[in-house]
Structure 1
């Protein structure tokens, strides 16, 4: 039986309004801790609710974000406020208030396709695949990758909020991933930190085609998060090691791209507003020159391969 979605949980409106008030009180008292515009993008203010201004964000903002914090805090308002503080402090760190396709990834990334956000699994979850074969341990490169992960996760969370998908099936594609590039911090960010902060969104995580030398990774990753149970007390597995032979049990072939042994066409269209890496670096003004040179050489190598 399909597990109930978090966004459909019954959370008392009184609790939601209490948390909303505390959130905006916190914002007023701690303007340097979070980005108020980021908060407004995802959480309607008490004034908007009071004045029935539900179109403040083009009628796309629900109480999902507040419900998320309350559900993950057993509906305790003060504990939920701490969840809010943690998540929106994280969001400020990665400048989510101003994040857009123009400043999150250079155009080269759309040509090599390290992130894939199309298709659905057999439970109606949107598929989000991160192909680790493209990751390299280079100074400041990980910041680009992390922002890419966050950018797509945010888009998927907005889809989830609007009922356009039932959640996310995160696929960590480990094919051709080199042991020399293993970065436990990056892996933890991908499969633990981001799904935990976006609680309720990621429904399962598939580790795809783990090379023998990295087979221990599955047990490491599996141990990062506590096991959960459904309402009947049955243990629910979050992580699954899958291969070409059994991935069809989770995702049909027409919903999988070629690199997951499927037939779905991959879109390699580069958004017109994206910038080539050289321009991207100048625009962001955050990547040091010596690091930018190494990253560009690597991207050029990938694009021409």
Structure 2
């Protein structure tokens, strides 16, 4: 993932993150056991922060670990967090555990995506929903946002596409603000530009179930309209860039008919 250049110098970068978080110099100083004067000197370049101080400020500003590496490099220090390829043997135990999780969730759909929504693993429940999808969208690396919003992907079968699309684009906007990724911005501009299909399937308009706690995904499959609620899980306190950007997305049936339909297809 490519990081967007904002300013030169660690001070302006830290100031940009602080302003984005809407935290005053005094509040950040109190959190980091420092002083507003020292924070001001760091931001203006009058004081060179230590490696420990950069990491402490980054923690209190909730800066992603990839961006913490950038701050360290700009500040004249070596990166602290490794970026291990997902297929590296060092992550064998992690991959095996995630595979077991995906399999245990069957017949319900689940997948794992990276920082730019590329799919790194999925279970049979998800594969079922992707049938049929245009072949060119299934060429690796699969991208969850393209698969969902492309007019030859899942989009024509999503009954509440406009609501679901708006939610996904808002999610991407929040992620762009957090990660400041050029690749993520390019993906957003691509999928946001996809036309919204006029037709959303052959069974007509289906009202959403009463789910005040979450927006459901209503999607047609094999003549039935299935209803899901989605949850996203990430790793707590990751120490590797790759692991920090992984997200496990699970789709829980919102009604008994959906659960029965999934069981019938994977039994």
TM surpasses 0.5: no
TM-score for both structures, normalised by structure 1: 0.29
Question: Rg larger in 1 or in 2?
Answer: 2
TM-score for both structures, normalised by structure 2: 0.32
